[in-house]
Amino acid sequence: MLKLLPLLLLFAAPAASARDARGLAQALVELRQTTEGLNDQVEEARRAGIEQRRALATQQTELDAERTRASLRVAQLKETLERRKAEIAQASAWQSTLLPTFRDAAATLRGRVEQSLPFKRAERLEAVATLERKVAEGLLTPEAALARLWALAEDELRLTRDTGLFRDTVVLPEGEVLADVVRLGMLGLYWRTGDGRVGVVEASGRARLVTDPAAKAQLEGLFDAFRKQIRVGAFTLPTLLAEAP
């Protein structure tokens, strides 16, 4: 019996070694798999890092290019700004030389309106005053104001050529009265009120009542013809000249 024990030990030792070897081999296989997995992850991370660095390099290049373009735009804007400042300074100097011309022309036109036939005079004077206010407040340049003043002067010239039927105020002894008026250029106005009175506004601006029956009939015929759009024909009318006192 004692002789069998060493023999059993001899057979048991190789069996244990074989199990250890198989376990070690399995461990090595698992370790290799783990190592290969880690290598794959490292390689993937390396490739991702390369792609990220490449993308960052591309973005950096684009940012550098955009910075260069922005710097160029800023330089161009500064150059444009300086050029505009010089142009504005030059234009301001030019406008300053036109200011006295505008003021003189406005005063001349205003004086002519004040001395002319009082047809819508308030509106005509206000048109000149509006230009003067806008220039004084810096809302309109003297050059632009002169152009508009010229348009007003042309309107004044047009008034001397036109004839028509209008509504306007006439200053009578009792005050201002809204009336129908026939304007003959800027020579004079014939007027007719709602209560049937008729008369003449002379070039001096004085309103004169017409009481003569024949003259009144002439004026009634004139207003009726203009109301019917009859502008052609011969009309016998009371004189526009001031009567002798």
pLDDT in tens, the chain (245 residues): 444 445 444 445 555 566 667 777 777 777 778 887 777 787 787 788 788 788 777 878 877 787 888 788 878 878 776 776 665 556 666 678 889 999 999 999 999 999 888 889 999 999 999 999 999 998 999 999 999 999 999 999 999 888 889 999 888 888 888 999 998 888 888 999 989 899 998 767 778 889 899 989 989 988 988 888 876 666 777 776 655 45
CA distances from 133 to 85, 129, 154, 184 (A): 26, 6, 21, 32
pLDDT the model gives residue 71: 81
For residue 120, which of 170, 162, 191 has the smallest C-alpha distance? 170
Q: With respect to residue 177, please indicate whether it lies within any of the assigned structural domains.
A: yes
Q: With respect to residue 244, please indicate whether it lies within any of the assigned structural domains.
A: yes
Of the residues 161, 176, 206, which one is the last residue of a structural domain? Answer: 161
Q: What is the pTM assigned to this prediction? A: 0.58
Does 201 share its domain with 129? no
The helix/strand/coil state of 137 is coil
Does 155 share its domain with 124? yes
- Count how many domains the chain has: 2
The helix/strand/coil state of 210 is coil
pLDDT the model gives residue 101: 93
pLDDT the model gives residue 192: 94
The helix/strand/coil state of 9 is helix
pLDDT the model gives residue 65: 83
Rounded to an integer, what distance in angstroms lies between the CA atom of residue 210 and that of residue 223? 14
Give CB contacts under 8 A, 24+ apart, made by 221-225: 222/182, 222/190, 223/165, 223/180, 223/182, 223/190, 223/192, 223/198
Query: By the 8 A CB rule, do 128 and 149 touch?
Result: yes
Of the residues 161, 176, 200, which one is the last residue of a structural domain? Answer: 161
Query: By the 8 A CB rule, do 184 and 239 touch?
Result: no
The whole domain housing 111 covers 90-161
Query: By the 8 A CB rule, do 163 and 183 touch?
Result: yes
Q: With respect to residue 12, please indicate whether it lies within any of the assigned structural domains.
A: no
